[in-house]
Amino acid sequence: MEIEDWSNSSGGMSDSESCFEEIKDEELFYAPDMSKARWIQEMGMAEVIERKGQMMTTMGITRCGKIYCSIEETLFLAEVGALVLVDDKDESLPLKYIYEKVAGGKNGCSWDTFEVYRHLKTLGYIVGRHGIPWSLKSIKSCTVSQECTPDNGEPVQNECEEESVIEVMENLQIKELRPLFDVYLPNRKFRKSSPGNPCFLICLTGGHPPSRAAVEDLEKLCKGIPLRFGHVEHGRVSFFTFNKVELPVLP
């Protein structure tokens, strides 16, 4: 196997990244079209209660007319000033609150996971959690019982679907070698109801290169979709792939 360098780290600036700069706490700004979300502890996600701007078009999963953001999406949006997180009393929560949740390694996201997510988003990619559909409409095998059935014209929360999302989030093991994100090329016509196949999938190395057997097993799960590995060291994000190399048989 040969390791192929795929991208520069986030610690430096390549030609394709020259228009992006690292976001610092003191440089945060709040846009006039800032969305508002409330953290749902049971789901490990934030429910968007006021949507503004266009960023939610490619972020968050849609369930019965509501948008739910993962912890990495919530933090990214808060960092760029596109979302404010509030508590049950509708009081805004500080950025430190979200940082602590990510640092705690719960909700299927560690700090390294967020670093990889933020790096990809900063480059302009559309990034979603692997294994969690953007919407029910994107599932071809979706049954009638999974659909919203409003009685008075208003969206009704599907308890079974909410429970399924909770179960997925709770079963995520951060240290487990598995695909973390579905990554799509920038696309203004992107639709959650029909996202298509991702451009590639991202796995996190966890600090050590995976074994050949592990890579081959993951590639089988990817069903032909390219697999990339993300590696984070001292805040620097790098991506690489494994290629098979056939060596000639020596006489």
Section 140-168 average pLDDT: 45
Going by pLDDT thresholds of 50, 70 and 90, the confidence category of residue 14 is very low
Judge whether residue 127 has pLDDT over 70. Answer: yes
Going by pLDDT thresholds of 50, 70 and 90, the confidence category of residue 186 is very high
Average pLDDT of the residues of the chain: 77
Per residue, the 3-state secondary structure of the chain, as one string, reads CEEEEEECCCCCCCHHHCCCCCCCHHHCCCCCCCEEEEEECCCCEEEEEECCCCHHHHCCEEECCEEEECHHHHHHHHHCCCEEEECCCCCECCHHHHHHHHHCCCCCCCHHHHHHHHHHHHCCCEEEECCCCCEHHHCCCCCHHHCCCCCCCCCCCCHHHHHHHHHHHHHCCCCCCCEEEEEECCCCCCCCCCCCCCCEEEEECCCCCCCHHHHHHHHHHHCCCCEEEEEEECCEEEEEEEECCCCCCCC
Residue 1 CB contacts under 8 Å (≥ 6 apart), including other chains: 212, 215, 242, 243, 244, 245
Cβ-based neighbour number of residue 187 at 10 Å: 13
* Structure tokens belonging to residue 90: 């509708």
Judge whether residue 144 has pLDDT over 60. Answer: no
Section 214-232 average pLDDT: 84
Range in 9-23, 81-95, 152-166 the model is least confident about: 9-23
Going by pLDDT thresholds of 50, 70 and 90, the confidence category of residue 150 is very low
* Structure tokens belonging to residue 139: 């599932």
Residue 166's Cβ-side half-sphere holds a number of Cα atoms within 13 Å equal to 10
- Judge whether 240 and 6 are in contact, CB under 8 Å: yes
How far is 245 from 243, CA to CA, in rounded Å? 6
Judge whether residue 6 has pLDDT over 90. Answer: no
- Per the confidence metrics, is the pTM higher than 0.85? no
How far CA 110 is from CA of 70, 115, 116, 180, 181, in Å, comes to: 12, 9, 10, 11, 13
Judge whether residue 60 has pLDDT over 70. Answer: yes
Judge whether residue 39 has pLDDT over 70. Answer: yes
Please report, as a single letter, which amino acid is at residue 162: E
pLDDT tens figures, 156-181: 444 445 555 555 555 554 456 788 99
- Judge whether 142 and 136 are in contact, CB under 8 Å: yes
CA 52 from centre of chain? 20
